[in-house]
């Protein structure tokens, strides 16, 4: 639809109109949030919990979104931080292979089939990355964020985004080659 | 022309189109001439392509509804207008501070409670002493050297004064309910005994009456006392009835706060009785005694008198044997001069003797306001808690001061060691987390 409302308009409506207006914003980005959380946490249940918590945080702090045009990166940063918190809480490092194995990630059989078909190797190579490299790869190569957007989402400098992406891609490449 | 290292550092950004026009051009130029960098570019592109082809997973069934449900339940379907979310995050800190504050509060309260308890125990042992006395006593202490001594200590010290014949000044200040005594002394003593008299911090001096008994010393005494009494009129009446000569008296004050100052000389034999009688008039707020040994002065005057009397006798002899009128008049005039001087000296002796045989009493009598009397004798619980609290604060401050002193003297190496330990701990933690990150990266 060409008459689709912008994020900023929806945000203003959500602040005024409450939960129903917010649903529209949520529908627009929840898949993105979920993918981000799933790839960060590598566990369906944890990803779902994190999403729910993050969405509540986003909703509660809608008024404090300073730049309505950048709602996407702002809300993604909340999801990302919630995932980091969840990772810290469980204290199990992502290097544990059991965690990394997709079969143990609690995905539905359909999802698994899709993932297997579409280069499970690459998937694993990305999953093996440390959190800070994984988030830049997810945002850049899966969500198509610009460097500026990543910098805003993760709250890091543009130079750091640049070097992290470079290192992350090299790691992925190495991981694929190793497997 | 860029170097390969610089190019490979920028290869990702080059592919993503995140480089400035100038840099982009430089890299393009380099890539044309460098097959290695071109290979790297290609492999990176392939990797990105592979990642790009990873599918986006669909939202699990019902997740959207669960999110909405949770929003409705938790947010109460209203946006938090009045309450910023920062409150939630800062609540942890608030709770932490509240815990610390509560802990400090509990410490103070328990110290106060302990103070109240101790007070009640102490006041059972010594029912006259009120908690206020501790705070009032400070005013009474004017002495440079002071000591807390029971009255018995003074009696114990008494035998030490044998043979003191030099001039001495002695003062005692009684404060509160006579359980705190301050001594002030100006030692002008040459005898050996003086050194033995230094007991603890206090320098004790002979009680004057002992000196009189021992060496027949002439000592003038002045006793001053401040009394508070409930029955002011009765006390004034008793004061008037007391035998002795009133030197001066004045009175004043309002109905509720009356006072009178009386100076009186009493017979030396009656002096001790008079002191007891005055103390019985009411509550002694302040009392003390000045004394001055006048023996030397008197001996001086007596020696002068003797000399003058010898001169008088000689002059009388001359008068009898004088031949010329001129000598006669001269002797006559000298004689009358000497007689005047003798009278003068005798007057002085009489004055000194009076001072010795008629000690002075300086009485300051004050009426006693009943309300404050009640407060003084039995302060209410609030006051007790307040003073106990003050004491606990003082105690804590003293404790901190002590701790700081100990740390600064003994504990400096300990503190340094502690700081080093903390630093090492942090460095170790950082190193550990770095190691884990690396492991996580699978490098």
Cβ-nearest to B441 among A38, A165, A171 = A171
Looking at the DSSP bridge assignments, the partners of residue B261 are: B250, B364
Listed range (B111-115, B279-283, B301-305, B313-317) with the worst mean pLDDT: B111-115
Binning pLDDT at 50, 70 and 90, where does residue B271 land? confident
Minimal Cα distance from A96: which residue of B?
Answer: B440
At CB < 8 A and 24+ separation, what contacts does B377-380 make? B377/B130, B378/B130, B379/B130, B379/B131, B379/B132
Handedness of CA B17, B22, B23, B24 (dihedral sign): positive
Record: contact A169-B44, CB cut-off 8 A = yes
Cβ-nearest to A128 among B52, B77, B442 = B442
- Side-chain-facing half-sphere of B293: CA atoms under 13 Å: 25
- Residue B271, SS3 per DSSP: helix
Mean predicted confidence (pLDDT) in B242-250: 82
State whether residue B200 sits within 8 Å of chain A by CB: no
Cβ-nearest to A111 among B54, B57, B78 = B57
ipTM over 0.85: no
Highest mean pLDDT, choosing among B106-110, B118-122, B170-174: B106-110
Contacts of A162 in chain B (CB under 8 A): 10, 12-13, 18
CB–CB of A134/A39 below 8 Å?
Answer: yes
A-B CB pairs within 8 A amount to 142
Per-chain mean pLDDT for chain B: 72
**Residues 6+ away with beta carbon under 8 Å from A117:** none
Nearest to A154, CA basis, from A179, A178, A174, A132: A132
Record: contact B55-A114, CB cut-off 8 A = yes
Contacts of B80 in chain A (CB under 8 A): 60, 63
CB–CB of A13/A53 below 8 Å?
Answer: no
Burial class for B239, CB neighbours closer than 10 Å (0-12, 13-18, 19+): buried
pTM over 0.90: no
- pLDDT (tens, 9 = 90+) of chain A, 179 residues, equals 445 778 888 888 888 877 778 888 888 888 888 888 888 888 888 888 899 999 988 888 888 888 888 888 888 889 988 888 888 877 555 443 334 344 445 566 676 666 565 557 787 788 888 888 988 888 888 878 888 888 888 888 988 999 999 999 989 888 888 76
User: What residue has token string 């006798």?
Assistant: B313
Record: contact A60-B80, CB cut-off 8 A = yes
**What does A153-170 look like in DSSP terms, one character per residue?**
HHT--HHHHHHHHHHHHH
**What does B339-403 look like in DSSP terms, one character per residue?**
HHHHHHHHHHHHHHHHHHHS-EEEEEEEE--HHHHHHHHS--HHHHHHHHHHHHHHHHHHHHHHH
Minimal Cα distance from A161: which residue of B?
Answer: B13
- Tens-digit pLDDT profile for residues B11-46: 888 888 888 888 888 888 888 888 888 888 888 888
Record: contact B75-A173, CB cut-off 8 A = no
State whether residue B66 sits within 8 Å of chain A by CB: yes
Measure the CA angle with vertex A13, ends A9 and A19; round to 5°: 135
- Is the pLDDT assigned to residue B86 strictly greater than 70? no
Helix (H) or strand (E) holding B226: strand B219-229
Record: contact A59-B443, CB cut-off 8 A = no
Kindly report the nearest CA distance between residue B33 and chain A, in angstroms: 22
CB–CB of B328/B288 below 8 Å?
Answer: no
**Two structure tokens written together for A66:** 């300073």
Binning pLDDT at 50, 70 and 90, where does residue B400 land? very high
Measure the CA angle with vertex B441, ends B435 and B443; round to 5°: 85
Helix, strand, coil % over all residues of chain A, rounded to 5:
80, 0, 20
Kindly report the nearest CA distance between residue A173 and chain B, in angstroms: 6
CB–CB of B238/B262 below 8 Å?
Answer: no
Binning pLDDT at 50, 70 and 90, where does residue B75 land? low
State whether residue B44 sits within 8 Å of chain A by CB: yes
User: What residue has token string 């999403």?
Assistant: A51
- pLDDT: which is higher, B96 or B184: B96
Record: contact A133-B79, CB cut-off 8 A = no
What is the C-alpha separation between B406 and B263, in angstroms, rounded?
Answer: 54
Contacts of B77 in chain A (CB under 8 A): 18-19
Record: contact B18-A123, CB cut-off 8 A = no
Contacts of A22 in chain B (CB under 8 A): 71
Cβ-nearest to A141 among B43, B52, B78 = B52
Record: contact B437-A130, CB cut-off 8 A = yes
Helix (H) or strand (E) holding B237: helix B232-241
In this structure, the strands spanning B219-229 and B360-367 are parallel
Mean predicted confidence (pLDDT) in B166-175: 38
- Is the pLDDT assigned to residue B244 strictly greater than 50? yes
Mean predicted confidence (pLDDT) in B393-422: 86
Contacts of A175 in chain B (CB under 8 A): 442
**Residues 6+ away with beta carbon under 8 Å from B283:** B177, B227, B228, B229, B368
Record: contact B75-A19, CB cut-off 8 A = yes
**Two structure tokens written together for A53:** 């918590």
Contacts of A129 in chain B (CB under 8 A): 441
Looking at the DSSP bridge assignments, the partners of residue B366 are: B228, B259
What is the C-alpha separation between B222 and B235, in angstroms, rounded?
Answer: 21
- Residue B70, SS3 per DSSP: helix
Contacts of B63 in chain A (CB under 8 A): 30, 34, 48, 51
Record: contact B56-A142, CB cut-off 8 A = yes
Kindly report the nearest CA distance between residue A87 and chain B, in angstroms: 13
Handedness of CA B342, B345, B350, B353 (dihedral sign): negative
Kindly report the nearest CA distance between residue B55 and chain A, in angstroms: 7
What is the C-alpha separation between B221 and B8, in angstroms, rounded?
Answer: 107
Q: What is the pLDDT of residue B183?
A: 39
Nearest to B384, CA basis, from B163, B167, B112, B145: B112
Q: What is the pLDDT of residue A23?
A: 86
DSSP state of B408: I
């Amino acid at each position: 639809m060409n008459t689709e409302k912008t994020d900023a308009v929806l945000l203003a409506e959500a602040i005024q109109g409450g939960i129903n207006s917010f649903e529209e914003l949520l529908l627009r980005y929840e898949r993105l949030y979920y993918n981000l959380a799933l790839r960060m946490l590598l566990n369906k249940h944890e990803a779902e919990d994190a999403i729910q918590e993050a969405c509540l945080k986003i909703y509660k702090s809608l008024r404090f979104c300073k730049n309505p045009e950048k709602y996407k990166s702002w809300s993604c940063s909340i999801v990302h931080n919630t995932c980091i918190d969840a990772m810290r809480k469980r204290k199990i490092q992502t290097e544990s292979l059991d965690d990394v194995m997709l079969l143990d990630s609690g995905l539905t059989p359909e999802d698994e089939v899709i993932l297997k078909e579409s280069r499970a190797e690459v998937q694993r190579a990305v999953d093996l990355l440390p959190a800070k490299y994984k988030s830049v790869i997810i945002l850049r190569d899966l969500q198509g964020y610009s460097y500026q957007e990543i910098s805003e989402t993760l709250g890091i400098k543009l130079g750091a985004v640049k070097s992290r992406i470079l290192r992350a891609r090299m790691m992925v490449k190495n991981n694929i080659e190793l497997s | 022309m860029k170097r390969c290292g610089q190019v490979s550092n920028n290869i990702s950004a080059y592919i993503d189109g995140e480089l400035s026009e100038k840099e982009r051009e430089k890299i393009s130029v380099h890539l044309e001439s460098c097959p290695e960098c071109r290979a790297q570019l290609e492999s990176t592109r392939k990797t990105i392509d592979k990642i790009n082809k990873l599918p986006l997973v669909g939202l699990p069934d019902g997740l959207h509804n669960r999110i909405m449900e949770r929003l409705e339940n938790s947010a109460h379907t209203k946006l938090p207008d009045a309450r910023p979310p920062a409150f939630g995050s800062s609540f942890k800190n608030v709770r932490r501070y509240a815990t610390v504050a509560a802990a400090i509060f509990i410490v103070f309260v328990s110290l106060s409670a302990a103070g109240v308890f101790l007070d009640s125990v102490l006041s059972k042992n010594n029912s006259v002493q009120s908690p206020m006395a501790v705070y009032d006593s400070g005013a009474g202490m004017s002495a440079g050297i002071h000591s807390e001594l029971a009255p018995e200590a003074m009696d114990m010290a008494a035998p030490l004064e044998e043979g003191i014949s030099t001039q001495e000044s002695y003062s005692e200040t009684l404060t509160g309910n006579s359980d705190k005594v301050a001594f002030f002394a100006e030692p002008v003593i040459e005898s050996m005994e003086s050194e033995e008299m230094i007991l603890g911090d206090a320098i004790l001096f002979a009680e004057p009456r002992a000196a009189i008994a021992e060496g027949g010393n002439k000592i003038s005494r002045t006793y001053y006392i401040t009394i508070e009494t409930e029955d002011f009129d009765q006390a004034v009446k008793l004061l008037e009835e007391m035998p002795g000569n009133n030197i001066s008296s004045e009175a004043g004050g309002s109905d509720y706060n009356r006072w009178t100052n009386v100076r009186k000389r009493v017979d030396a034999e009656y002096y001790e009785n008079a002191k007891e009688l005055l103390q019985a008039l009411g509550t002694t707020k302040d009392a003390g005694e000045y004394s001055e040994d006048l023996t030397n002065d008197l001996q001086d005057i007596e020696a002068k008198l003797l000399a003058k009397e010898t001169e008088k006798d000689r002059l009388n002899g001359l008068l009898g044997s004088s031949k010329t009128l001129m000598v006669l008049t001269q002797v006559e005039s000298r004689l009358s001069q000497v007689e005047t001087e003798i009278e003068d000296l005798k007057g002085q002796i009489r004055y000194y003797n009076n001072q010795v045989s008629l000690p002075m009493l300086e009485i300051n009598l004050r009426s006693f306001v009943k309300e404050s009397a009640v407060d003084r004798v039995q302060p209410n619980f609030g006051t007790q808690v307040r003073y106990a609290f003050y004491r606990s604060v003082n105690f804590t401050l003293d404790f901190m001061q002590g701790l700081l002193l100990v740390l600064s003297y003994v504990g400096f190496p300990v503190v340094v060691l502690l700081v080093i330990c903390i630093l090492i701990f942090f460095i170790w933690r950082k190193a550990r987390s770095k190691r884990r990150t690396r492991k996580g990266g699978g490098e």
